[in-house]
Amino acid sequence: MQSALYVALSAQVALSKRLETVSRNVANMNTAGYRADEVKFKEILDKAGPDKVSFASGGEIFISRQTGSLNKTDNPLDIAVEGEGFLAIQTPSGVAYTRDGRMQMGTDGVLRTVNGYEVLDAGGLPVIIDPEGGPPNISQNGEVTQGEDVLGTIGLFQIAADAKLTRHDNSAVIPDKPATPVQEFSKDGIRQGYVEGANINPIREMTKMIMITRAFESATAMIDQSNDTQRTAIRELGETS
- Cβ atoms of 193 and 7 within 8 Å: the answer is no
Tell me, what amino acid is at 43?
E
Same domain as 206, residue 184: no
Give how many domains the chain has, as a whole number. 2
Domain boundary among 180, 196, 212: 196
Question: pLDDT per residue over 136-161, tens digit each?
Answer: 999 999 999 998 899 999 999 999 99
Same domain as 101, residue 84: yes
Same domain as 129, residue 222: no
User: Minimal CA–CA distance to 193: which of 143, 148, 139?
Assistant: 139
CA-angle at 169, arms to 213 and 34, nearest 5°: 55
Same domain as 40, residue 59: yes
- Cβ atoms of 188 and 155 within 8 Å: the answer is no
Same domain as 184, residue 81: yes
Please state at what angle helix 3-27 crosses helix 202-240, rounded to 10 degrees: 160
Same domain as 76, residue 61: no
Tell me, what amino acid is at 219?
A
Question: pLDDT per residue over 43-78, tens digit each?
Answer: 544 544 455 555 555 567 889 999 999 999 999 999
pLDDT of residue 94: 94
Question: pLDDT per residue over 83-141, tens digit each?
Answer: 999 999 999 989 999 999 999 998 899 999 999 999 999 999 999 999 988 899 999 99
Element (H, E) at 121: none
Domain extent for 151: 70-196
Same domain as 151, residue 75: yes
Domain boundary among 160, 181, 196: 196
Please measure the distance between the N-terminal and C-terminal CA atoms of the chain and give it in whole angstroms: 20
Same domain as 78, residue 18: no
Same domain as 159, residue 80: yes
Same domain as 113, residue 171: yes
**Beta strand ranges found along the chain (DSSP E):** 37-40, 43-46, 53-56, 60-63, 70-72, 79-82, 86-91, 94-98, 103-105, 111-113, 118-119, 137-138, 143-146, 149-153, 156-158, 165-167, 173-175, 180-181, 189-192, 194-196
pLDDT of residue 232: 66
Same domain as 131, residue 32: no
Same domain as 104, residue 181: yes
